[in-house]
Chain A
Amino acid sequence: MFTFLARRLAATIPVLLIVAVLVFLMLRLTPGDPAVIIAGDAANPEQVAQIRAGLGLDRPIAVQFGIWFGKLLSGNLGESYYFKLTVVDLIAHRIEPTLALSVCTIVLSVLVSVPLGVLAAWRQGGWLDRALMGFSVLGFSVPVFVLGYILIYIFSLKLGWLPVQGYVRFADGFWPFLRHLILPSITLSVIYIALIARVTRAAVTETLAEDYVRTARAKGLPEARVVIHHALANAAVPIVTVIGIGIALLIGGVVVTETVYAIPGLGRLTVDAVLARDFPTIQGVILFFSFAYVLINLLVDLSYLFFDPRISY
């Protein structure tokens, strides 16, 4: 198992390295002078020259990457030109709302989608199954922000049950914190629920057809035990896999949801940085999100050992 752990970690490193190269090249291979792009439209020639010297743009591109990558390894993502802060501080400052929103969304999605998927597989072709499949196509089609506005319109503006927008930090009280997260989490979870429920349904449908399920029924186990302990337990691997893959979807959704609900998190930071053409921040946030995505999927791979003891790498 430890050799597996070491191998799996070692396989992650090239991916992270390639991500770093791609994020670096994204800016350098763009037509035009990166220093001018970074400095923005309002910069004077001195500032541009300063940035050019700071980035070492007169040196060969491999050397430039070396310098940039060296800084990256020592935890230096550069300095934001717009926010006048180091990018690391900026990310640390904005991470709480994004983390809270993501965790709420994942918990909500899993709690809703897995039981629904299991029930749909259990009574395949029934009304719940058809409703769920219809919902999942719809869930993939309704844009996150349209859904967000529909929910705001109904629950905040018409019914007045929940706050329209904004975010309250966890330290400022749990209930206000949670109240502000309810609508954003529901908004963000719809597409995630659609994805996980579909895969759960497919995976459980497959395991329900296995011989051991028939055996379990034949020996007279209660149906709930058959479905949960025999069918669902053996369908766990594809379900956790899709939860991991869906994180990419979640990150995309976070960017939009935080804009709709005016939540000052990393997603909103991304948009603000793009609008301000603040490239050190854009690079930093993309690197952060990508690394998080890769690491979460590493954890998902490791969880296979727990969910399926047959797997011994």
Chain B
Amino acid sequence: MPPTAVPAEAAVAVQIKGGLWRALRGNWAVMMGGSVLALLALIAVAAPWLGTVDPTLFDPASRDLLPGAIGEITDLDGATIAHKFLMGSDGFGRDIYSRVIYGTRVSLIVGAAVALVSLLFGVSCGLAAGYIRWLDGVLMRVMDGVMAIPGILIAIALVALWKASLTTVIIAIAIPEIPRVTRLVRSLVLSIREEPYVEAAVSLGTRTLRIMFGHILPNTMAPLIVQGTYICASAILIEAILSFLGVGLPTDVPTWGNIMAEGRVQFNDFPHNVFFPGVFLALTVLAINMLGDGLRDTLDPRMSKRI
């Protein structure tokens, strides 16, 4: 980066401090992605009131219905109720619409939890590696090793070892994401620790932990938030892939990947069982990626120039 670029970036930073909210609101991608994501979160919370039935209910009489068909479904008490299958039904006679709507919950929870878990561990490791010199070599070599194994293989193997549940799926997806966060935080720490305000804190005798969390961490926030959105998007995709491959959450849990895995068998005749959850999945990931790109452009103009 040529030295002439510095004043321009400093100016951007000041301008953002003046009105972060306004800067975000002016960004088309942030608003678009954020609105779609908010809508999906609303769908997840309000799932029971959106004309859905219990997503695990099935009725042999309503198997393989086309979208929009009216059929019946048996509730847990054994009573049969008429139900309109907006997105058709699967080979067991379950309502795809209800399963897709409830699937929003699993995807959003997994995405958010994986982002939080990997940020938490990645930030701790990155701070430690960047600030405690003797740890740096060892920690970063281990991270290099983890990064050399394709993430999806780690996730698949761990879930297979642990028996899939929401917690194990989240941890298994988070582990391969940790090295990337660690690297990011470490490189930020290495540049921030040379800043005059850190030097000032050191010379005042501030304790190491306080310097790490009070002085350095707050200045890594913008890139971390951006990184968090990307992790969230990729976690949602990987969860769907795990379910789709049959190694994810148990098949009775309504996840988009599970619906597609079951729909795959009858794909030639009933492609809607794959398409509806697929569209929701793509839309969700797209919204989060757009939000991430927009946040990156607003919060971290230096990074946006690089890619």
Contact = CB atoms under 8 A, between A and B. Distances in A.
Interface in A46-82: none
Contact of B153 (A140, A202, A255): A255
The listed residue with most A CB atoms (<10 A of its CB), out of B161, B162, B260, B305, is B161
Nearest to B153: A286
A293 B281 CA distance: 29
Interface in A99-139: 137-138
A15 B148 contact: yes
Contact of B148 (A19, A146, A153, A255): A19
B142 A146 contact: no
A146 B260 contact: yes
B153 to A, nearest CB: 5
Contacts of B289: 137, 140-141
B218 interface: no
A142 B237 CA distance: 9
Contact of A149 (B145, B247, B274): B274
Interface in A1-60: 14-16, 18-19, 21-23, 26-27, 30-31, 37
B174 to A, nearest CB: 15
Nearest to B287: A141
Interface stretch (B190-198, B219-227, B238-246): B238-246
B151 A271 contact: no
A290 B274 contact: no
B192 to A, nearest CB: 25
Contact of B246 (A22, A30, A144, A271): A271
A153 B293 CA distance: 31
B161 A37 contact: yes
B144 A143 contact: no
A160 interface: no
A271 B281 CA distance: 22
The listed residue with most A CB atoms (<10 A of its CB), out of B154, B158, B160, is B160
B267 A152 contact: yes
B156 A274 contact: yes
B152 interface: yes
A18 B161 contact: no
A59 to B, nearest CB: 21
A176 interface: no
A260 B257 CA distance: 13
A85 interface: no
B148 A274 contact: no
Describe B's contact surface by its main secondary structure: helix
B107 to A, nearest CB: 11
B247 A14 contact: no
Given A199-B307, A202-B306, A294 B148 contact: yes
A168 interface: no
A294 B264 CA distance: 34
A304 interface: no
Nearest to B145: A18
B281 A146 contact: yes
A30 B162 contact: yes
Given A145-B260, A255-B153, A274-B247, A22 B241 contact: no
A277 interface: yes
A157 B269 CA distance: 10
Given A271-B245, A282-B157, A23 B162 contact: no
A259 interface: yes
B290 interface: yes
A255 B152 contact: yes
Nearest to A16: B148
A26 B158 CA distance: 7
B241 A143 contact: yes
Contacts of B152: 251-252, 255
15 contacts: A27-B161, A137-B290, A140-B289, A142-B282, A142-B286, A145-B260, A152-B267, A202-B305, A252-B153, A256-B244, A260-B264, A271-B245, A274-B156, A274-B160, A286-B157
Interface of A: 14-16, 18-19, 21-23, 26-27, 30-31, 37, 137-138, 140-146, 149-150, 152-153, 157, 164, 198-199, 202, 248, 251-252, 255-256, 259-260, 270-271, 274-275, 277, 282, 285-286, 289-290, 293-294
Which 4 pairs of residues, A with B, have the shortest CB-CB distance?
Answer: A18-B145, A146-B278, A252-B152, A141-B286
Interface of B: 141-142, 144-146, 148-154, 156-158, 160-162, 233, 237, 240-241, 244-247, 260, 264, 267-268, 271, 274-275, 278-279, 281-282, 285-286, 289-290, 293, 305-307
